């Protein structure tokens, strides 16, 4: 079964498009964990335990764990073994050539056992191949990202009149998806761009950051990005779930916010 098929099965089983980003900031951890020698693991573990039946996927950002040194890598490794009925997307934005890309792929898929990884496609298709050769694992390619500076490159107009990000979308759908394991990262803050990418890529799954703290509108993003089956999206939320409370009830608060977000998504999905 290809990754994209696995993802769709998981979406149907969970009845959810919610992806929870795990971006543990040690300065924001609840006060109750200050004396915990394993605080980041405890915090993330409790968030996962409280939400694993609500979310379809988790997206740990490797930078937050790398910043902790060897302890962080060990913490991330342990966390990614906690639940295997959810999809794990390693947010690492890798992109390099030859043996380096192969080593990154081995780290993601063998060491961390990630189901998918975020990839930077701007060095070309040969940098993606070491990841995409694994048909049961996925690659979410940066296409039109949610940060304001993304327009510096992604909106550059090519000789054929298309912006660069639409050329990336076209390559993703028509050249790089031979193993049916390619997805795209498209920011929820740009619904018009999201709609344009969906037109070019009617069948690819999209990972959507930008809802919540970054200002993306959930309803607009869903209406622009849902596929013909009212699916095909992973709506990523991080801070609004992880830091729903900084009190001792942080896990319960995270669950409540996750349920609220999942239900808001499903209300739009199932309204048509």
List all residues 6 or more positions away from 151 whose beta carbon is below 8 Å from its beta carbon. none
Radius of gyration, alpha carbons of the chain: 18
- β-bridge pairing 116-119 and 138-144: parallel
Interacting residues of 42 by C-beta distance below 8 A, sequence separation 6+:
33, 36
| Phi, psi at 237, each rounded to 5° | -130, 140
Q: Which residue has the tokens 């690659």?
A: 139
Contact (Cβ atoms closer than 8 angstroms) between residue 257 and residue 55: no
Helix or strand run (H / E) with residue 221 = helix 218-225
Tell me, yes or no, if 93 is annotated catalytic. Answer: yes
Burial of 113 (0-12, 13-18, 19+ CB in 10 A): middle
Active-site choice (28, 93, 195, 203): 93
Which residues have C-beta within 8 Å of that of residue 140, sequence separation ≥ 6? 89, 116, 117, 118, 119, 183, 184, 185, 205, 207
**90: β partners:** 117
The set of catalytic residues is: 93
């Amino acid at each position: 079964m290809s990754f994209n098929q696995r993802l769709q099965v998981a979406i149907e089983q969970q009845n959810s498009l919610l992806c929870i980003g795990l971006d543990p900031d040690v300065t924001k951890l609840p006060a109750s964990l200050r004396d915990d020698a394993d605080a980041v693991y405890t915090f993330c573990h409790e968030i996962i335990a409280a939400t694993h039946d609500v979310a379809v996927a988790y997206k740990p950002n490797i930078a937050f764990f790398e910043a902790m040194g060897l302890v962080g890598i060990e913490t991330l490794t342990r966390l990614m073994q906690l639940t295997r009925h959810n999809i794990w997307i390693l947010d690492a934005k890798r992109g390099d050539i030859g043996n380096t890309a192969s080593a990154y792929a081995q780290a993601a898929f063998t060491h961390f056992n990630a189901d998918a990884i975020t990839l930077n496609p701007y060095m070309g298709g040969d940098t993606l191949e070491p990841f995409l050769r694994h048909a049961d694992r996925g690659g979410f390619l940066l296409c039109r990202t949610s940060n304001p500076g993304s327009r510096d490159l992604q909106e550059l107009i090519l000789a054929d009149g298309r912006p660069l990000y639409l050329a990336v979308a076209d390559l993703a759908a028509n050249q790089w998806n031979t193993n049916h394991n390619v997805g795209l990262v498209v920011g929820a803050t740009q619904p018009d761009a999201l709609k344009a990418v969906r037109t070019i890529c009617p069948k690819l799954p999209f990972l959507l950051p930008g809802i919540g703290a970054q200002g993306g509108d959930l309803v607009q993003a869903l209406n622009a990005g849902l596929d013909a089956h009212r699916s095909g999206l992973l709506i990523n939320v991080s801070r609004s779930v992880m830091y729903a409370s900084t009190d001792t009830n942080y896990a319960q608060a995270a669950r409540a916010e996750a349920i609220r977000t999942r239900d808001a998504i499903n209300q739009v999905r199932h309204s048509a």
